[in-house]
Structure formats: C-alpha cells, structure tokens
Amino acid sequence: MDSNKKLGLIGRNISYSFSKKFFEDKFQKLMLKGYSYTIFDLTEIHEVNELFSVPDLIGFNVTIPYKEKIIDYLDDLSDEAKKIGAVNCVLIENGRKTGYNTDAFGFEKTLLLHKKPHQESAIILGNGGAAKAVKYILDKNNIPSVTVSRNTEINYRNLQRKTVQDHKIIIQCTPVGTFPNVEECLDFPFEGITKDHLIIDLIYNPNYTQFIIKASEKGAKTVNGYYMLEQQAEKAWEIWNFQKK
C-alpha cells in the first residue's frame, strides 16, 4: 500500500455524511496508515475540476445532487453506470477517471433480503440518480415498476390509493424528510398501504422518516437506507482497492 491515499465525498450541504465516519472506522480497523477521507462540499459541479488535481486522490463517492452531473467530467463508465445514467463512486487511476454505480449493488442486497414472493411490482418515488439505480435493479430482477415524481404522468398529485394497493413494494428515493428537515413528508396516499407491503426508504438519517412512520402505522414492513448505504460503501472500497492493474 502507498503511504498516502486520499478518498472523499462530493455533494452539496453534506456535513451530516455517513461516509466519512464509515471509511475512517475502516482505516482504523484495517490499521491502514496514510489513508484520509475528506468531505468536498461543492456549490456547483464544475468545482470538481479542482479536485482532480489533488495529488494522491484515488477516488471519491458522489451524492445528491451530482450523481448524474458528474458523468460529463469522467473519462469512462462501468457498464452499470452507463445503463443507469448515474454515478456514485469514482476511481482515479493513472489520471483516468471512471464512474461506477454501487447504489445498485446496495439496493439489490436490501431488496432481496426483504422481498416476499407476493410482492411482485413496485412504485419508485423520485426520478433522480438513486431512483435510476433502483429502476435498473427492479428491471434486472423482472419486477415491473411505475415511477412517480413531480413531473411524471403519474405524479404526487394524482397517485391513486388503488395504484398503491396494487404495487406491494414502494421505494422512497427522494431526499424529502432527510435530516435536518425530519418533519417533512411526501404527499402520498398512505391509506393504500397494507400489511402486505414492503416499504424501502433510502434515507438513513433519521432512522425513521415520517414516510416510514406513516407506512408502519398501516402494518407494512419498513426498511431504511442504512444497509444499502453500508453495502454500497463496501463495494466502493472494493473498487478503489482491487481494481488496481
């Protein structure tokens, strides 16, 4: 291992990030000297260019709102990142910048851990980078899905209780309800949720969003984004350390 390896996270308003603590704990556990993990809070995506000239930077994670915008600044994409159209992990090797999507890996592990056979179709709430990774995994597992966002055909204003009843998996992919705005919640027909539903909210801070609380009141099985987050981070670690030629 080289004596100096820099990693980090790019996003906007990301002081509450899970990743920094996760990776710093990992460096300690593995007794790795000379590794560091920095939060790069960017006001605009073009500021990432300055980051690319940081010596010893071997890669970084990407979070809201840059998972799609980062693509224009990269040299290469993994097959998955290409298909998904969103990147949450970048590897820098010999000056080449390659984008990966480990959200897909993390979400698939979460989904397969909790999904029951009767849960055959899904509603995806949101259409940003995370929602794209979710859709990719649902398609891969032959689970039909409907995307609901502010500007889709079915949107938050016209989403029917019956549609919710008919789709037994609901994945909340928007940042609504994330710390510090923990009282916020999507406008959603919760009366369509039953005990046969699986609700996955990709938010991990707070542990229980208003969305999860309201869904669990209807008896649904609810899961937050923590396990997915851990899994995508482990996958990123693998990419940074085992892709070396």
Largest CA distance in the chain: 58
Q: Which long-range contacts (CB under 8 A, 24 or more apart) does 115-122 make?
A: 115/169, 115/198, 116/198, 118/168, 118/196, 119/168, 119/169, 119/196, 119/197, 119/198, 120/144, 120/168, 121/145, 121/146, 121/166, 121/167, 121/168, 121/169, 122/146, 122/167, 122/168, 122/169, 122/170, 122/171
Catalytic residues, which ones? 67
Tell me how crowded residue 19 is: count the other CB atoms within 10 A of its CB: 21
User: What's the token pair of residue 7?
Assistant: 């990693």
- CB burial of 137-176 (b: ≥16 within 10 Å; e: otherwise) equals bbeeeebebbbbbeeeeeebeebeeeebeebbbbbbbbbb
Helices 18-29 and 226-242 sit at what angle, rounded to 10 degrees? 50
